[in-house]
Amino acid sequence: MSQPSATRRRVDPRAERAARTVLAGPRPRLLRQPAAAISNERRRDPRAIREAALVQRQPRPRYDWTRDAASAGSSAAMGVFVAAAPAIPLQVIAEPAYLVLALLDRPGGEVSDHDRQVIAAARLLADSGSDGGGGAVVTVSTGSGEALAEAGSDRHVALPDGWADDYVPERRAAAASALMAALSPRHVLFPDSADGGDVARRVAAAAGERLFTGVQSLAPDRATRQSAGGSLETGHRPTRLMTVAADAFAPLDGVRHEARPLDLAAPAIAGEEVLPRLGGARRLAVDPDALSLSETDFILSAGNGVTDWRSFAELGEALGATRAGSRVVCDAGHLPRERQVGASGTVVGARCYLAFGIAGAPQHLQGITGVHHVIAVNTDLHAEMIKRADLSIVADAQAVMPALIRLIRERRHD
């Protein structure tokens, strides 16, 4: 026999309605809850909650939503100071047991994703050596090492800045050979790119050592790469000279090393007059529109808000950018179908994406998830593309494009 349920007071709907009534008359106004249940709590500040969950600002913001964001938001709303995220501790290797050299391309003076991946691979060898780690990563490139500290560099050797202008692989190969003789590194890593692979093969031929190319996974006792279209895997004990395949290693995140400048008196690095030079070597100019959207680094994209297509073409030529567009633009015939960006077009990973008059449909935003920097020009302040952009210009595209063209021509004339 079941136990009788506890007695509960019956709900009086007329009493509840009277408690919620704030204005009587022909059309009474009712509250969502009784007046007695209203508290004086202040509303939560979503900006404070977002700031409390922020764990990294550069190169792209990262958030940890597992934190107690509710308490942080309420305390910030009440004016209580919320402590910032703890700073990343500096990792210093004063006396490294061995060295791992990472010779970077650094095209145009900027640290590319491939360069960061090479440093991550070198960091893997330095931290997980057969003798328990304790190694240091020495980066070699033009420019300072300040931008390489968060990528995992312990020491940095700065090559002359003028070396980044001309294509003279003999100089980089001679510098690498001189550093190998001076530092005696355990491993030397190169990016498996057009320039990095060229330098790596020259160094291997001069040193008479074996070069293991296209490394895709690394361990202290094994390096592997794929072949035959990915159906076969070739493994070998890590050699002294190796090239790292693109997108094989994830760049380091949340680390900070010292990247201490390493000054070496290497005559081969400073004395370029003794090195052979290629006669008339230069980089050929490439038509940006001849590149596929998946390969280019700079994309100028148009949406439904663009009507001045002549200015759009002139701006693409002035910037040296590859032209692209949204689905609406391609459907209208202003650009060919292979220039469509989005989930139903091409998913791009350019370094810079300049969008004119694109509202930001979900399919289009899916196509630019891998873009590093987005610049949006739109008249709608609340457009989704404006929210996605790192830099926004709230203006008409037809007014911004001619202004940019004039500015570029003035700068070139000066």
Per-residue pLDDT of the chain (414 residues; tens, 9 = 90+): 555 555 566 777 777 777 777 666 666 666 665 544 444 455 667 777 777 777 666 666 777 776 544 444 444 444 444 445 567 888 888 889 999 999 999 887 788 889 999 999 999 999 886 555 689 999 999 888 888 999 999 999 988 877 766 677 888 898 899 999 999 999 999 999 988 999 999 999 999 999 999 999 998 889 999 887 777 888 889 999 999 998 889 898 888 899 899 877 544 454 444 455 566 666 677 889 999 998 899 999 999 999 999 999 999 999 999 999 999 999 999 999 999 999 999 999 898 999 999 999 999 999 999 898 999 999 999 999 999 999 999 999 999 999 999 999 998 886
Residue 156 exposed, middle or buried by CB count within 10 Å (0-12, 13-18, 19+): buried
- Residue 376, C-beta contacts closer than 8 angstroms, at least 6 positions apart: 355, 358, 360, 383, 385, 386, 388, 389, 391, 392, 393
The full set of domain ranges for the chain reads: 36-86, 99-274, 288-413
pTM above 0.85, yes or no: no
Q: Is the dihedral of CA 151, 157, 161, 163 positive or negative?
A: negative
Task: Determine if the peptide bond prior to 59 is cis (ω within 30°).
Answer: yes
Burial class, 373, CB count within 10 angstroms (exposed 0-12 / middle 13-18 / buried 19+):
middle
Task: Report which of 42, 50, 45, 18 is spatially closest to residue 31, judged by C-alpha positions.
Answer: 18
| Calpha distance 190→212 (Å, rounded) | 10
**Residue partners of 254: CB distance under 8 A and separation at least 6:** 55, 56, 88
Pick the CATH number of 288-413 from 3.40.50.1220, 2.60.120.260, 3.40.50.1970, 3.30.70.2660: 3.40.50.1220
- The residues, ordered by sequence, that sit 6+ positions from 71 with a Cβ below 8 Å of its Cβ are none
pLDDT at 18: 74
**Residues linked to residue 346 through DSSP beta bridges, in sequence order:** 341
Helices in 275-326 by DSSP H: which ranges?
Answer: 309-319
Mode of pairing for the β-strands spanning 54-56 and 62-63: antiparallel
Tell me phi and psi for residue 388, to 5 degrees: -75, -25
Looking at 3.30.9.10, 3.40.80.10, 3.40.50.620, 3.40.50.2000, the CATH number of the domain 99-274 comes to 3.40.50.620
Query: What sign results for the dihedral spanned by CA atoms 262, 263, 265, 271?
Result: positive
CB-CB contact of 45 with 77 (8 Å): yes
